Structure 1
Amino acid sequence: MTDQQLNELREELKGYLKITWNEEDDDLLKYVKDGIDYLDETAGIGIDYTVDSKARRLLMDYGRYVYNHSLELFEVNFERELFKLSLREGIKDHATTDTETST
């Protein structure tokens, strides 16, 4: 992702958390980057969070849990959504691989 896209996601997270000050921008950007790493690893593929609204919503919730010092509960509370994300991306990746090998 570009720096501009990361900053836009950080601004979206700030809005989601109702943060109007700038003192925590560096921390929030780190939360976005960590969330992207976590969700991409969970999905097994890089996700475009600027396009995929379901994945972006999970990223915002990840940021909310980190911000509120509750990250240990994120995976438990979003187990179903994380499974769906992983399954959906795995199916897309498999379909792409099948198309590439059949040509």
Structure 2
Amino acid sequence: MPELLAELKSRLRITWDDEDAELERIINRAKSYFEKLTSKTFSFELDAWETELLLERCRYVYNNAADEFENNFADELKRLIMHVALEKRAEIGEQQENS
């Protein structure tokens, strides 16, 4: 979490610590958003591509524009959902082969 918080603060150009608790709540809600959207738990490591979406979601929420996020990132969200679905399909196929 400290890395995500630092990355989000950098992206938002926040140099003070007064809002850290609120930013952590925003990050946690964004994680929950993606987990509910895809039924998958992500690591959200800084070099993972889904982390970019997480940070953008946080940016939109911080700027009171969460309602615009899905419209502006529709293609990326579709790709994420498709990627997760293909991973799950491959896992099911492997399980069936091993049975």
TM > 0.5: yes
Aligned-pair distance for 1:95? 0.4
Stretches of structure 1 lacking an aligned partner (at least 5 in a row): 1-5
| Correspondent of 1:86 among 81, 87, 93 | 81
Alignment of 1:51-62 (within 5 A): 53-62=48-57
User: Is 1:97 the counterpart of 2:71 in the alignment?
Assistant: no
Partner of 1:38: 33
Look at both structures and tell me which one has the larger radius of gyration over its CA atoms.
Answer: 2
Partner of 1:7: 2
Q: Cα deviation per residue 1:16-54 (whole Å; 9 max; x = unaligned)?
A: 111110000001001110111111221221112116622
Structure 1: distance between partners of 2:21 and 2:88: 33
Identity across matched positions, percent: 30
Give 1:49's aligned amino acid. Answer: F
| Correspondent of 1:21 among 16, 19, 22 | 16
Return the TM-score normalized by structure 1.
0.88
Moved over 4 A (4+): none
Stretches of structure 2 lacking an aligned partner (at least 5 in a row): none
Residues matched between the structures, number = 98
Structure 2: distance between partners of 1:69 and 1:91: 33
Structure 1: distance between partners of 2:8 and 2:74: 21
Inter-CA distance 73–8: structure 2 relative to 1 (3 Å threshold): same
